[in-house]
């Protein structure tokens, strides 16, 4: 579950959207640490949403018979939603505009991306569908390790992004479309695992 969480957190964080562009710009203007701390705010939000999805889903499904048609239907819906998310990610053009937020110190950079990511309700829906597909329906260490993995995987992405931007300044935009495509393929793999598992 830790490894699944790492892959999931990494692939959900990787598509280059407004938060990604914001972290890239902060890395270029204020340095690697500013970019990483901005990304860490997003990773914290991913972890919080992952925790809500894992334990909220566990609470909702704790008394449902595992062999019930309702759970099978949820699994199919989860797989289809992930497939949609994967295709949308692969076909999307990388964002060119950063999220509009001002921050003049490292703490403000972290807090601003935490807040911006928490205002995106699609994130919790993404995690809830994946967790349902992975069969996280009860409290336990599987849920804990999955959430730890999601947070760590997301943070790892932001560390790589902020470091990579410092090294590859001019090429970042050219590579961002491939980042979206690879992330979409990973999410598609989760969708297939959910549907066929």
110 vs 29, 32, 106, 148, CA distance in Å?
15, 13, 6, 19
With H, G, I as helix, E, B as strand and everything else as coil, classify residue 47: helix
Alpha-carbon torsion angle 93, 116, 122, 68, nearest 10: 140
Per-residue model confidence (pLDDT) at position 36: 92
Assigned token pair, 129: 């569908």
- The pTM (predicted TM-score) of the whole model is 0.69
CA dist., res. 195 & res. 103, Å (int): 43
Retrieve residue 59's tokens: 């609470």
What does each C-alpha distance from 146 to 9, 75, 130 come to in angstroms? 9, 18, 11
pLDDT, position 62: 55
The Cα–Cα gap between 66 and 50 comes to: 22
Please enumerate in sequence order all residues whose Cβ is within 8 A of that of 8, keeping only pairs 6 or more positions apart, or say none.
127, 130, 146, 149, 150, 153, 190
Please report the pLDDT score of residue 152 as a whole number.
Answer: 95
Enumerate the H helices of 94-134 as residue ranges.
Answer: 106-118, 122-133
Do 132 and 190 meet the contact criterion of CB atoms below 8 Å apart?
no
- pLDDT digit string (tens) for the chain, length 197 residues: 888 889 888 888 877 677 777 787 788 778 888 889 989 999 999 889 888 877 776 666 555 555 456 656 766 776 777 677 678 767 877 655 555 556 678 888 898 888 888 877 677 777 777 776 666 655 677 778 888 998 999 999 999 988 888 777 656 656 667 766 777 787 788 778 767 76
Q: In a 3-state reduction of DSSP, which class is residue 69?
A: helix
Q: Do the beta carbons of residue 137 and residue 57 sit within 8 Å?
A: yes
């Amino acid at each position: 579950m830790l490894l699944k969480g790492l892959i999931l957190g990494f692939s959900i964080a990787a598509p280059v959207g407004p938060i990604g562009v914001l972290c890239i710009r902060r890395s270029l203007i204020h340095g690697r640490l500013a970019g990483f701390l901005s990304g860490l705010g997003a990773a914290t939000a991913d972890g919080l949403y992952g925790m809500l999805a894992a334990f909220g889903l566990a609470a909702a499904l704790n008394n449902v018979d595992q062999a019930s048609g309702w759970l099978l239907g949820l699994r199919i819906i989860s797989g289809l939603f992930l497939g949609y998310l994967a295709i949308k990610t692969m076909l999307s053009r990388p964002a060119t505009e950063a999220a509009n937020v001002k921050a003049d110190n490292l703490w403000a950079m972290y807090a601003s991306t935490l807040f911006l990511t928490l205002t995106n309700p699609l994130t919790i829906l993404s995690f809830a569908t994946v967790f349902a597909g992975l069969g996280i329906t009860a409290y336990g260490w599987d849920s804990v390790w999955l959430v730890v993995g999601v947070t760590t995987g997301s943070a790892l992405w932001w560390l790589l992004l902020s470091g990579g931007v410092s090294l590859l300044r001019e090429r970042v935009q050219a590579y961002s479309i491939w980042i979206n495509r690879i992330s979409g393929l990973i999410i598609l793999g989760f969708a297939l695992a959910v549907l066929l598992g």
